[in-house]
Amino acid sequence: MVEIQGISKSFQKTVKDNTAEIKALTEVSLSVRENEFISIIGPSGCGKTTLLKIIDGLIPHDSGQILINGKRISGPGPDRAVVFQTFALLPWRTVLANVEFSLELRRVSKEERTSIARDYLKRVGLEEFEHHYPHELSGGMQQRAGLARALAVNPTILLMDEPFGSVDAQTRQLLQEELLELWQRERKTVIFITHSMDEAVYLADRVVVMTPRPGRVAEILDVPLPRPRIPDVVRRDPKFVELTNYIWDSLKKAMENHH
């Protein structure tokens, strides 16, 4: 499905006339299966977001290649959609018009895009709020609207960059459950970036642990928890506790070796 092969990326950073090269990613390789849910976790600044943008085709990489269903990608495509941490909703548009936005860009007719947008607002539980503006919604609702907008274009791959990072703990848990329900229903391939060990393990089939910058894959762990994941059952499962602790130790070690 998604083949990430030896991806490396550096940035030029200029400080007081001195230009330094900062290596963001080194030789990152990862295979993601169809309909798989992958979490990527790693220290701040390890290039997780950079990797996601490269997969989306938003920024170029220096070496390596990314294949989707065997085809090399060279830019953004209709098979991928991104959900960011900052909801990225257009403040001057209603919730409905926000969800329609990506369909407009694809030249979908007015009637069709309104009906698709309404359908997805219903799936994320926002059908009553279609005429509201983003500032009238809570953080969790804004994030649901962002999710509806990404799903409306019916991508096969959903790229999520810490989408629940800026909502409170209770909302976060609710959104995690809703995301899993949607994923189970819609069968998408999800690559999900998070800072939270708990979230990474709760959501994913496999967790990819990255090293500090320059980011590379430290290890890939299978999550041996049954689906559907019932939050209270899962979080009390000794395997869940063991795996989150293991990832925490693994990240700590990586940070210590880095310093």
pLDDT value at 47 more than 80:
yes
At residue 87, the pLDDT reads 66
Q: Which of 10-24, 44-58, 103-117, 123-137 has the lowest mean pLDDT?
A: 10-24
Q: What is the pTM of this model?
A: 0.90
Residue 194 vs residues 10, 16, 106, 234, 257: alpha-carbon distances, Å: 22, 33, 30, 18, 22
Q: What is the tens place of the pLDDT at every residue in 112-150?
A: 999 999 998 988 889 899 999 999 998 888 888 988 888
Can you list the alpha helix ranges (DSSP code H) found in the chain?
48-56, 95-105, 110-123, 139-152, 169-186, 197-203, 231-236, 238-258
Q: Where along the chain do its domains lie?
A: 2-79+190-258
Q: Is the domain defined by 2-79+190-258 classed in CATH 3.40.50.300? A: yes
- pLDDT, average across residues 31-42: 95
Q: What is the tens place of the pLDDT at every residue in 245-255?
A: 999 998 888 77
At residue 143, the pLDDT reads 85
Q: What is the tens place of the pLDDT at every residue in 75-85?
A: 888 899 888 87
